Amino acid sequence: MANSSLNKNQWVLVEGPGPDEAEFLGRWLLAAAAADKALKEQFKRNAELKKHISSVEIVDEVCFSSGAAKFLELLMKDLTAFSLSVEDVWIDVFAIMADLGFFRLTGERYQMTLPSSASGSAIEAALLKLAATEHRFSLHPENMIHWITKYDAHTWHARLKGLTWMQRVADRELLLGDG
């Protein structure tokens, strides 16, 4: 990522499910584990893929399970939502997971969702999309995701925390078309 003053003000806000949604969170974590398996299989099918995404895997190998665990850890701080700077080390994995459907944009924030398909080919496409954001030896995942200012992220987060969990979940269901 580029280290600019603009990036310091680029954040994503992710709203989690209701506090009684352990089953959803379990399926979400299992979907991340399945994505890891699908990625390993895709590397076997396409031996050139590692070379094409070398800029993505400079520091760490892409691991959806680790990212999902980190995002769940952030969510558990208040059981409502979490925000992430585009300068955060986890933003690359977030961008890939958002592209795969682990997060769905609703207005100015993302919702944690179950991906409809995290196939090897879909994962490859998301990785290549992130690799294509490289400029001057830095990835720019902010070009793949919707970001808001830090102020807006904190304002939205406070607004969500101010809602009763039943109202927040009802709003979430409407936004996702589940209600």
- Per-residue pLDDT at 82: 98
- In this structure, is residue 146 part of a structural domain? yes
**Token duo for residue 144:** 């793949």
User: Chain-wide mean pLDDT for the chain?
Assistant: 88
- In this structure, is residue 141 part of a structural domain? yes
64-77 residue pLDDT tens = 999 999 999 999 99
Range of the domain at 111: 8-176
Please state the rounded mean pLDDT for residues 40-44.
Answer: 89
- In this structure, is residue 3 part of a structural domain? no
Q: Strand runs (DSSP E) across the chain, as ranges?
A: 11-15, 81-85, 103-106, 109-112
Please state the rounded mean pLDDT for residues 24-30.
Answer: 97
Asked whether the predicted pLDDT for residue 58 surpasses 60, the reply is no
pLDDT > 70: what percent of the chain? Answer: 89
Q: Which residue has the higher pLDDT, 6 or 59?
A: 6
Q: Which residue has the higher pLDDT, 76 or 3?
A: 76
Beta-strand relationship, 11-15 and 81-85: antiparallel
- In this structure, is residue 67 part of a structural domain? yes
Distance CA 21, CA 165 (A): 11
Please state the rounded mean pLDDT for residues 92-119.
Answer: 94
Distance CA 50, CA 93 (A): 16
Q: Which of 137, 112, 139 is nearest to 127 (CA)?
A: 139
Please state the rounded mean pLDDT for residues 119-137.
Answer: 89
Asked whether the predicted pLDDT for residue 4 surpasses 70, the reply is no
Give the count of domains, the chain: 1
Check if the beta carbon of residue 23 is closer than 8 Å to that of residue 97. Answer: no
Check if the beta carbon of residue 99 is closer than 8 Å to that of residue 15. Answer: no
- Per-residue pLDDT at 178: 66
- In this structure, is residue 1 part of a structural domain? no
- In this structure, is residue 2 part of a structural domain? no
* Conformation bin of residue 86: beta by default, left when phi > 0, alpha when psi is -120 to 50: alpha
Please state the rounded mean pLDDT for residues 50-68.
Answer: 73
- In this structure, is residue 28 part of a structural domain? yes
The pTM is what? Answer: 0.88
- In this structure, is residue 70 part of a structural domain? yes
